[in-house]
Amino acid sequence: MVKDLCSFILLLSLIVSSFTAGLSTTEQNACPRYIRRMKPDGQYHRVLEMTCCPDYMEVDNKCIACPAGHFGQNCSVPCLDGKYGQQCKLTCNCTRDLCDPKTGCKCKAGYTGAHCDKECPDGYYGMDCQSVCKCSEHSDCDHETGHCRCHIGYEGRFCHDICRDQFYGQECSRNCSCPNQVPCHHVTGHCLCPKGFKGNNCDERCPVGTFGGNCLGTCNCIEGTCDPKDGQCTCNPGYSGRLCNENCPENSFGSGCNSTCTCDTHSRCHPVTGECLCQPGFHGKDCSKTCSVGSYGPGCIYTCKCSRTSVCNTQTGECACDRGWTGLICDHSKLLS
């Protein structure tokens, strides 16, 4: 047994002594290999040498892992297609872009995500989606270039402007066909008729109850008519207010409520004609006169039915009986009953 142990030690010493100068035999990630060396006599012999294992490289007499993008003996081989990272151990899953051997999926402009399968979020574009779009709300921003794609009816670098006069549609490329240089809608091309008119040629007046350009407005006047241009109400005589839904203020009447009533205090003024509407018991043009004996009511238009033994109320026509008389018209003597 001692003899076998001595033989093993002798063999091991021969192997170690045959290593050439270089990495230490204790260096981690170092591997032995045989190389051919020429002897002084011109003969070749194999020599065992310590070198860095595959996927490692020697730096300052130490073996370090291959940097991202390389693998193999002494890290001399670039990553194969679809592989990346340190020692090329990671696999790319790019959907539309190239695999960078160092970092993995390298998204082209306009895309993001681990697999480059997502477009830039709204408002951003370009490489790594780092650029901010400058397009207006009337456009879409190209997620790759940042170019503003204007919506129908808008133009300009950032799509802030509606189509210039006499043009409309996509990219403002269509000519308006309205007569007499009437402008058209920047999106649809419909003629924008002047206020108070409508029709293909803008020669039709607004129907009653409508107003504005192309007669698109609806009038809300209650007791009056509206202007076909701006919809402003012109009240009928006796009415006032923005919608002509109020009677003339007290002591005024007529068109625009611009006339002043001349009625007495025992009356009210008709809001349309200005006629004095007398209270019961009064009459006359200005209602300043009381009813004469035998008449009563508004304007004294009713005839009393009371007997001679009573007094007729000029307001209600009720009979006030003299002493000794009774009945609805005071025609019954209390002495006879």
Domain of 302, CATH number, reads 2.170.300.10
Read off the pLDDT band of 91 (50, 70, 90).
confident
Count: domains in the chain: 1
Asked if residue 36 is part of any domain, the answer here is no
Asked if residue 286 is part of any domain, the answer here is yes
Asked if residue 64 is part of any domain, the answer here is no
Mean pLDDT of the residues in the chain: 85
Asked if residue 319 is part of any domain, the answer here is yes
Asked if residue 259 is part of any domain, the answer here is no
Asked if residue 182 is part of any domain, the answer here is no
The yes-or-no verdict on residue 247 having pLDDT over 80 is yes
Evaluated on CA atoms 122, 124, 130, 132, the torsion sign reads negative
What is the extent of the structural domain holding 291? Answer: 279-337
Asked if residue 271 is part of any domain, the answer here is no
Share of the chain above pLDDT 90, in %: 42
Q: What is the pLDDT of residue 219?
A: 93
Read off the pLDDT band of 81 (50, 70, 90).
confident
Asked if residue 288 is part of any domain, the answer here is yes
